Amino acid sequence: MEEVNVHLPDHALGEPIIRLEGVNKFYGQFQVLTGIDLSVRAGERIVVCGPSGSGKSTLIRCINRLEVVQQGKIVVDGIDLTAGGKNVDAVRAEVGMVFQQFNLFPHLTILQNCTLAPMRSRGMSKEQAEDIAMKYLKRVRIPEQANKFPSQLSGGQQQRVAIARALCMSPKIMLFDEPTSALDPEMVKEVLDTMISLAEDGMTMLCVTHEMGFARSVADRVIFMADGRIVEQGPPQEFFGAPKHEKLRQFLGQIL
């Protein structure tokens, strides 16, 4: 069923952890996603790119049910998001998300940002949540910022907090929506380095990004979207070396 299997490295040979079949999504009359079929294996790293407005954010927001779809099926780690019912909390606990605009709570300290969800939805004690938070703040190399507020940190630091905060929930999947697009150029690398280290640890990742250097070196598969469809996908070497669709060639011509 998965045409790219032959290219997948060992770390991505697991069972599909994300499966979308025939997904159509509308905003009113406007069809934002059309016929999306996508299967992601545990450990796989996917980069999604495409022109502005092509549906990239909508696609990944559907995977943690920030958006609902009208047609098709979405199954995440065995949880059918399209079956209705109480599956939202279950999937949110397994899927971490990092946004372009960090989305930290401005009135909470860095540490409090990281401990809030584990205490509220995992029922962790404050002490345990703080231990875990400090572990991940060390991991993203800013433990010394723990008692500051978001506004006191640089953009790159805030985005690393956002990553640490997501990791505190022990997600199985991490979704990134243009995590470096709002950053000053000198801060892009520190965030990409954090993402690379996550990838090296085997995290299943879907990253919407136009950082094509990252795509080349980290992605197992690059997906190109246009007009709400997956137009082309493949391992980076093929994707960049021999793009088939005219729209992709145009797109690569603009961004590379």
53 binds ligand ADP (CB under 6 A): yes
Among 3-11, 45-53, 198-206, 215-223, the segment contacting ligand ADP (CB under 6 A): 45-53
Q: How far is the CB of 188 from ligand ADP (least distance, A)?
A: 19
Per the structure block, which two tokens stand in for 115?
Answer: 């401990």
Is residue 57 close enough to count as binding Mg ion by CB under 5 A?
A: yes
Question: Which option in Mg ion, ligand ADP, none does residue 58 bind, with CB closer than 5 to 8 A by kind?
Answer: ligand ADP
Single-letter residue type at 6: V
Q: How many residues contact Mg ion, by CB under 5 A?
A: 1
Bridge-based pairing state of the strands 30-41 and 79-80: unpaired
How far apart are CB 138 and ligand ADP at their closest, in Å?
Answer: 32
In the sheet that holds 71-76, the strands lie side by side as 30-41, 16-27, 71-76, 79-80
**Cβ closest to ligand ADP, residue 34 vs residue 128:** 34
- CB nearer ligand ADP, residue 52 or residue 254: 52
> Which range of residues in 53-61, 116-124, 126-134, 233-241 is near ligand ADP by CB under 6 A?
53-61
The least distance separating ligand ADP from the CB of residue 53, rounded to whole angstroms, comes to: 4
- Shorter beta-carbon distance to ligand ADP: residue 27 or 105: 27
Quickly list H helices, the chain.
56-63, 87-94, 110-121, 126-139, 155-167, 185-200, 212-218, 236-241, 246-255
Instruction: Fill in the DSSP letter of residue 235.
Output: -
Three-class DSSP category at 149: coil
Q: Given the complex with ligand ADP, which of 31 and 154 has the nearer CB atom? A: 31
For residue 194, which amino acid is it?
A: T
Name residues whose C-beta falls within 8 Å of residue 63's C-beta, 6 or more positions apart in sequence: 18, 20, 74, 76, 81, 95, 173, 175, 206
Binding residue count for ligand ADP, defined by CB under 6 A: 10
Sole binder of ligand ADP in the list 6, 10, 29, 52 (CB under 6 A): 52
Contact flag: residue 112 with Mg ion (CB under 5 A)? no
CA–CA separation, 167 and 203 (whole Å): 10
Structure tokens at 222: 């690059």
Site string for ligand ADP, 4-33 (x = CB under 6 A): -----------------------x----x-
Please choose which of Mg ion, ligand ADP, none residue 114 contacts, taking the beta carbon within 5 to 8 angstroms, the exact cut-off set by kind.
none
Residue for token digits 């070497």?
Answer: 237
d(CA 193, CA 248): 27
Residue numbers at the binding site for Mg ion (CB under 5 A): 57
Residue numbers at the binding site for ligand ADP (CB under 6 A): 27, 32, 50, 52-58
